[in-house]
Amino acid sequence: MILNAVLVVLTDLAAHLLGNPLFRRHFHLALSATVVFGPALSLWVSQHSIFAKRSHFLYRMFLRSGWGWTCIFVGSFVFLLSFSTRRSLSLSFRHLSRLGVAGGLWFVFCKLLDVLENATGSCYEPLPGNPEIDDSQPLLVLREGESKAECLKAGMLWRGYEVSEDVFLLCLCCLLLAEETAVFGPYLSLGGCSDAPLRILFLFCVLLLSLWLFLLLCLLAYFPQFPTQLIGGALGCLSWRGLYQGWYCQGPCWYCPGRPGFGLLKNQD
């Protein structure tokens, strides 16, 4: 009973925050300001911190598979919320299709960014007598026709026009999580079914959103890269705006899944 009461209190507070109109209206602005001014934190953080190493557990476990974690928790929450409300598989799959659209958009952007980096980059090798590859030492062009994959496989260094795919993914996942979970507050206020599994999934989504924000701050503070991170964040925000503030606002139809909560936020019988 005590654990259930704690779960109810925590989820109600989180749902009230994420469903607040001020939060929904200004979250993307706060996220944009974080991407713009976050690299300034590198002036105060210690480079001897455990988060200053790319081999840290959080980076290896979550950052490299960030979209998978987002799909698992958000997809489970969206499916359980929609199915427990209307008992309609077609409605549930329609709401889940938003994740498929966002995933497809992310995949296409990553492929385009790889093509851009291969088209604008060159492969370099260290000068004789300098076995260690470092940004500060002189470099020698290896071969102009070398691809990035072949260059890195040979142990050389690739230099090209890069866009931070990590910042792009984290910004897109944060905005997607905020949009998909914001419906839970109004849903509870209308007397929707709120059993323990649904609340636990919602809480996991909130924790995942907090983790993505923390990892974003870590990347900006410990691995500042301007303007690659700024462009990655801009792509993430533009993707969210094009989907959730543009296409999905047209309403559900054969080519549009509609906004989160459509068909769910009604008084229950």
Tokens at residue 249, please?
A: 């606002």
Pull the structure tokens for residue 246: 């543009």
Tokens of 173: 């996942």
pLDDT at 1 (0 to 100): 77
How long is the chain? Answer: 269
Q: Give the model's pLDDT for residue 157.
A: 78
Q: Do 220 and 37 form a contact (C-beta atoms < 8 A)?
A: no
CA-derived radius of gyration, the chain: 22
pTM of model > 0.85: yes
Can you read off the two tokens belonging to residue 1?
């009973």
What is the rounded distance in angstroms from the CA atom of residue 178 to the CA atom of residue 32?
14
Tokens standing for residue 108: 């296409």
Burial class (CB in 10 A: 0-12, 13-18, 19+), 3: exposed
139 has which bridge partners?
126
The sheet with strand 139-141 has its strands ordered as: 139-141, 122-126, 157-159
Query: CA-to-CA distance for 226 and 229, rounded, in angstroms?
Result: 6
Angle at 102 between CA 194 and CA 16, to 5 degrees: 30
Phi-psi region of 27 (alpha: psi -120 to 50; beta: other; left: phi over 0): alpha
Distance of CA 104 to the CA centre of its chain: 14
Residue 129 has a pLDDT of: 53
- pLDDT at residue 123, rounded to an integer: 80
pLDDT 10s digits, 137-190? 555 655 666 677 778 777 777 877 888 999 999 999 999 999 999 999 999 988
Q: Cα angle at 97 between 93 and 99, to 5 degrees?
A: 125
Provide, rounded to the nearest whole percent, the portion of the chain with pLDDT above 90: 62
